[in-house]
Amino acid sequence: MTSPRWLAAEEQRAWRAYLRMHSQLDAELNRRLQAACGLSLSDYEVLVLLSEADGGRLRPYELQRETQWEQSRLAHQLSRMQKRGLVVREKCTEDGRGSFVVLTPAGRAAIETAAPRHVDDVRRLVFDGLDRETTSRLELFATTVLARLETAPGNP
Amino acid sequence: MTSPRWLAAEEQRAWRAYLRMHSQLDAELNRRLQAACGLSLSDYEVLVLLSEADGGRLRPYELQRETQWEQSRLAHQLSRMQKRGLVVREKCTEDGRGSFVVLTPAGRAAIETAAPRHVDDVRRLVFDGLDRETTSRLELFATTVLARLETAPGNP
DNA sequence: AAAGATTGACAACTCAATCTTG
DNA sequence: CAAGATTGAGTTGTCAATCTTT
């Protein structure tokens, strides 16, 4: 039995700063998107994927693959968006089990209004402050952790 | 009227990787903490702050300052934790408007069990994969964005 | 009125269960 | 049974309103 391996001082600082930064940034981006366009970041993510897809239509499982959300989270999200008229669901003729999610004109209008604004928020709050080296390290950090998550051993 | 300034390709990649990484990591840390200790990350955060405080007691506004949460989020969180016996609220005699949040023995036991496990998860999923330079850049990234958030201009 | 704090209504997420078709 | 997808119950977070004390 070994005593717990705590984080080194630099790691502690980095971790606490990271946690605080993320929650603040996420909240701020959400507030702005909500205030300016009446969309949440989740709405935005779905709308972006649909707008980039051929015909503005995707199968739910494709959306799930891209977003990496829980299946039921996606279903609830789509139901809410449908109720607000941003998307509609259609039956899939090829596979009777499946369905399609289709961007409505209102949904397309929403994302076209929201995208430039949101990108501008991200640019100003994040990337305008970062040099190339820090940006590239950010990507390295993210991809490194993602790789570790994929091979994640359960708690032994 | 200028056309929107989109993100550069490296920025896009870094941003998308960052978003995906965070949501995956957050979910995984939450699942592990929940499975092993029956605590959420929010519970954990409150318990850490209380356990580091003198007498295991803090005023709600102090918790709010540290967590940077919305006032009502904190109040709801504390009510739930109180219902589960992790904390209790006491009246503040000095200031009739205020109250104290106090760690119970059960709350202290919970954080003492959870902390080493959770730190281990963070170490294994994150820091064991990062070299000193990347860790230091992570802190720089976080503090830079935090600084920008503090001077955040509204959407002009 | 402002500070400290709580409440209620509603929105969003998680987990487990369910339904339908392949 | 497995794949694609949805539903319902319970938890957590947000916003606006409220209450009490300074």
Tens digit of each residue's pLDDT (9 = 90 or more) over A11-65: 999 999 999 999 999 999 999 999 999 999 999 999 999 999 999 999 999 999 9
**What's the pTM value of the predicted model, to 2 decimals?**
0.93
Question: What mean pLDDT is predicted for residues A81-85?
Answer: 96
pLDDT at B154 (0 to 100) = 59
Q: Which of A122, A135, A18 is nearest to B10 (CA)?
A: A135
Looking at the predicted structure, is the pLDDT value of residue A3 above 60?
no
pLDDT score for B155: 46
User: Which chain A residues contact residue B137 at CB under 8 A?
Assistant: 133-134, 137-138, 141
Task: Name the strands in the sheet holding A99-103, side by side, starting at the edge strand that comes first in the sequence.
Answer: A57-58, A99-103, A87-91
Q: Is pLDDT at A155 greater than 70 in this prediction?
A: no
Contact present, A138 and B14 (Cβ < 8 Å): yes
Q: Burial, A106: exposed, middle or buried (Cβ in 10 Å; 0-12, 13-18, 19+)?
A: exposed
Q: Can you say whether residue B116 is alpha, beta or left, with left for phi > 0 and alpha for psi between -120 and 50 degrees?
A: alpha
Residues 7-26 of A with CB under 8 A from B: 7-8, 10-11, 13-15, 17-18, 20-25
In tens, the pLDDT along B68-112 reads 999 999 999 999 999 999 999 999 999 999 999 999 999 999 999
All residues of chain A having their beta carbon less than 8 Å from the beta carbon of residue B141 are: 18, 21, 130, 134, 137-138, 141
Is B5 in a helix, a strand, or coil?
coil
